[in-house]
Amino acid sequence: MVNTYFLTHTLKNGIRIIHLNTDSPVAHLGVLINTGSRDEKKNEHGLAHFIEHSVFKGTKKRRAFHVLSRIEGVGGELNAYTSKEETVLYSTFLNEYYERAADLLGDILLNSVYPAKELEREKEVIFEEINSYKDSPSELIFDEFEELVFDGHPIARNILGTKKNLQKFDRESILHFIGNNYHSDQMVISSVGNCDFNKLINLLEKSFGDFTEKRRNPSRKKFDNYIPEKKSIVKDTYQSHCIVGNVTFDIQHKKRIVMVLLNNILGGQAMNSRLNLALRERRGMAYNVESGYTAYSDTGLFNVYFGTDKEHLNKALSLVYNEFKLLRENKLGVIQLSKAKKQLIGQIAISTESHEDLMLTIGKSYLLFDKVDPLLVVFNKIEAITSEDLLEVANLTLDEKQMSTLLYS
């Protein structure tokens, strides 16, 4: 059972801690850093992701094998990911190994040595990761769509980088990027597990207290020059792949929660989403059709993706635009709106059953907003959405004239 009382503390160097106590035998601990690929300079493209890979390759007191074995040797997991605006290191383990996990994550963050041999080997791993994306058009199209929408802006660049850039990275370039972008006031340590909070603070003070206090000056270049674009690329694939979308609300915008609900109605995870019914269930035109909404610090992106036989492409696209039109022109009735809200509330509640996801969610919220809304507050915000709110957001976001389109055909 989860106690929704969040405990918080700030270390002397400015790193914030958030903890949620549970009675589960399994715990989750993560370090979230407000730095991602959009914080790279042009010649650093791919460096944030390269660091995320390389940080496990040995510290001042542990070789790479010992880093991996420290938690995994007792049945736990050690992982990391990079996004456009975040770098996250995290671990899952039995509660009795809290001290071991805290010590390891702190050692990785503060004391990684980035040995040259390991760096060259990890470059080959990332080259294969890049190749795998090129072999998967249904994944590649999302990166190329962001490059189309955010053309010329740092947020446009894909997270993996390029082979040419990766070849140039070394220990010095890694340390330079970390020095410029890893700031203690832009870090949160998030914990979900059965651990006395005072004990946890002492463990984290010991493991992370030596990180130098550094404050960030606002430095991200704001994206504000969106121009709708259409692009078609010929690819030797069985299916046509299509993605359409528009810029929308940033993560701080008061209409963000309305956009979340609108996206869920249109093409969210449920099989009864409007797009899934229109393209897959009623007509069998697509195996996969989905919409997505990503909120960044200064902008947002809404998109719809589907793959279909080439002969169905134009019809499928017209069906997508028809769903846009219906949401722009017709207010949801009382029963429709109530069902949509209950569906989203249920999905959010169920997602908290994954304590790993919960650890990452509360960590990100505390990182960006310096608070975490209890579920009841989130649910009340959803319940407060009106059909007029949805209609307004639909007309701002689902305007066909403002849509960018990328086709693989």
pLDDT, one tens digit per residue, over 363-406 is: 999 999 999 999 999 999 999 999 999 999 999 999 999 999 99
- Rounded to an integer, the average pLDDT of 313-330 is 97
Q: Can you give the pLDDT at residue 284?
A: 95
How much is the pLDDT for 5? 82
* Band of residue 1 on the pLDDT scale cut at 50, 70, 90: very low
Q: How far is CA 179 from CA 39, 172, 183, 320, in A?
A: 12, 10, 8, 46
pLDDT tier for residue 4 given thresholds of 50, 70 and 90 = low
pLDDT score of 2: 43
What domains can be seen in the chain, in order of their start residue?
A: 2-208 (3.30.830.10), 230-408 (3.30.830.10)
What is the percentage of the chain residues whose pLDDT exceeds 70? 99
Alpha-carbon span 243 to 403, nearest angstrom: 10
Average pLDDT rounded to a whole number, residues 186-200 = 97
Phi, psi of 260 (to 5 degrees): -60, -45
The amino acid occupying position 204 is: L
Rounded to two decimals, the pTM is 0.94
Render pLDDT for 96-140 as a digit per residue (tens, 0 to 9): 999 999 999 999 999 999 999 999 999 999 999 999 998 999 999
